[in-house]
Amino acid sequence: MAVEGLALPALPVVITTALIDSVNPCAIGVLVLLITTLLALSHNRKRMLEVGMIYIIAVYVTYLAAGVGLLYVIQKLNIAEPLSIIVGGLIIVLGLLEIKDFWWYGKGLTLSIPARRAEQIKHYMKHVTVPSSIILGMFVAAVELPCTGGPYLAITAFLAKIGFNLQVLGLLLFYNAIFVLPLVVILLLVFFGVNVKSVQKWKQKQKRWMRLFMGILMIALGILLILWTKGYIGFVTGN
């Protein structure tokens, strides 16, 4: 379908979504828990850095593979347009749930890691090694999806409507690099001496605001997807 109306560059949408998604309290909370566990078992910061970096790379690769796979399926089945309407509506609902958590955090229906899965993560972390951190990263990436998957689903549907080419793949690579960037920064800060409890306190203090900004973003993305599918606006991958 030829898109009429205002044509906007896709890159700012990808960057904005990735930046807000990157400070997701679930993703940061799991990394802080991993660092705390590693330091409690051993004060070897070099080992903590090795395990932490492998874990982050595993999260990156898992999310990237999921995004590429979803893009491929959407293009193969040629369902980008109807799916965009469905995803747009779903993302708006999920965004409202995130905003709800700004006032009533964790009350009622919420986008967080299920308690059962959170306990599994804690158990696995007690026995984590350099090789097993790959499996841990993949497992965490999967169970985090209720908490982190909303913006990623929206951006994947957004990119699917553009197509499936090297530019779109580059945008997906870039999105995931931004997503894991705060995790890398936190890991390096702790490695160079920042108290992990300070990071944990910051995360606890800011998590409600993280939810609020993410909710607003998701509602905006949902509206953009619907308007785009209806032909009111267009996006291009170039400048």
SS (H, E, C) the chain: CCCCCEEEEHHHHHHHHHHHHHCCHHHHHHHHHHHHHHHHHCCCHHHHHHHHHHHHHHHHHHHHHHHHHHHHHHHHHCCHHHHHHHHHHHHHHHHHHHHHHHHCCCCCCCCCCCHHHHHHHHHHHCCCCCCHHHHHHHHHHHHCHHHHHHHHHHHHHHHHHHCCCHHHHHHHHHHHHHHHHHHHHHHHHHHCCCCHHHHHHHHHHHHHHHHHHHHHHHHHHHHHHHHHHHCCEEEECCC
Query: Is residue 126's pLDDT more than 50?
Result: yes
Question: What is the total count of domains within the chain?
Answer: 1
pTM of the entire predicted model? 0.79
| Residue 221 is assigned to a structural domain of this protein | yes
Q: Which domain holds residue 57?
A: 6-236
Question: What integer pLDDT is reported at residue 41 of this predicted model?
Answer: 64
Segment 155-208, tens digit of pLDDT: 888 888 777 888 889 999 999 999 899 889 888 988 888 888 887 787 778 778
Asked if the structure places residue 97 within a domain, the reply is: yes
Cα angle, residue 13 at apex, residues 12 and 14 outer, rounded to 5°? 90
Instruction: Work out the pLDDT band at 109, boundaries 50, 70, 90.
Output: low
Which residues, other chains included, contact 115 with Cβ-Cβ below 8 Å and sequence gap of 6+? none
Decide if 1 is inside a domain.
no
Q: In which residue are the tokens 């930046």 written?
A: 19
| pLDDT tens string 9-56 | 678 888 888 887 887 777 777 778 778 877 776 677 888 888 888 888
With pLDDT > 70 as the criterion, what percentage of the chain qualifies? 86
Average pLDDT, the chain: 79
Is residue 129 situated within a structural domain? Answer: yes
* Cα atoms found within 13 Å of the Cα of residue 170, Cβ hemisphere only: 7
Q: For residue 215, is pLDDT > 50?
A: yes
